[in-house]
Amino acid sequence: MGSGSWDIMRSIKDYEAIIGRDEVRSILRLAKRVYGAKVIHVNATAYGGGVAEILKNLIPLAQSVGLKAKWEVIKGDPEFFKITKAIHNALQGSKEIRLTEEMKDHYIMVAKKNIEYLDLEGDVVIIHDPQPLPLVDYRGKNKWIWRCHIDLSDPNPEVWGFIRRYVIKFDAAVFTLERYIPDDVKGLIRTYVRYPAIDPLSDKNKPLPTTTIVKILERFGIDPERPIIGQVSRFDPWKDPLGVIDVYRKVKKRIKDVQLVMIGCFAHDDPEGYEWYRKTMDYANGDRDIHILTNMDGVSDLEVNAFQRAFTVALQLSRREGFGLSVTEALWKGVPVVARRAGGIPLQVINGVTGYLINGIESASRKVTLLIRRPWLARLLGEKGREHVRRNFLITKLLKDYLRMHIDLVGI
Counting residues that bind another protein (by CB under 8 A) gives 35
3-state secondary structure of 23: helix
C-alpha span between 131 and 153 (Å, rounded): 19
Minimum gap (Å) between residue 123 Cβ and another protein? 12
C-alpha span between 31 and 176 (Å, rounded): 23
Helix (H) or strand (E) holding 211: helix 210-219
Q: Is 279 in the site for another protein (CB under 8 A)?
A: no
Angle, helices 301-310/325-332, rounded to nearest 10 degrees: 60
User: Judged by CB under 8 A, which stretch of 101-109, 156-164, 212-220, 398-406 contacts another protein?
Assistant: 398-406
Binding letters toward another protein, positions 152-171, x by CB under 8 A: -------------------x
Minimum gap (Å) between residue 395 Cβ and another protein? 13
Q: Are 240 and 317 in contact (CB under 8 A)?
A: yes
Contact with another protein (CB under 8 A): which of 28, 108, 242, 350? 350
Site for another protein in 52-71 (CB under 8 A): none
User: Judged by CB under 8 A, which stretch of 21-29, 78-86, 235-243, 324-332 contacts another protein?
Assistant: 21-29
Q: Is 409 in the site for another protein (CB under 8 A)?
A: yes
Handedness of CA 351, 355, 360, 362 (dihedral sign): positive
Q: Is 401 in the site for another protein (CB under 8 A)?
A: yes
Pairing of strands 68-73, 2-3: antiparallel
Alpha helices in 300-360 (DSSP H): 301-310, 325-332, 345-348
Q: Is 370 in the site for another protein (CB under 8 A)?
A: no
Q: Are 327 and 337 in contact (CB under 8 A)?
A: yes
C-alpha span between 59 and 67 (Å, rounded): 9
Q: Is 383 in the site for another protein (CB under 8 A)?
A: no
Handedness of CA 95, 189, 56, 78 (dihedral sign): negative
Q: Is 38 in the site for another protein (CB under 8 A)?
A: no
User: Judged by CB under 8 A, which stretch of 2-10, 15-23, 132-140, 239-247 contacts another protein?
Assistant: 15-23
Residues in contact with another protein by CB under 8 A are 20, 22-23, 26, 29, 143, 171, 178, 186-187, 190-191, 195, 341, 346-347, 350-353, 357, 387-388, 391-392, 397, 400-401, 404, 407-412
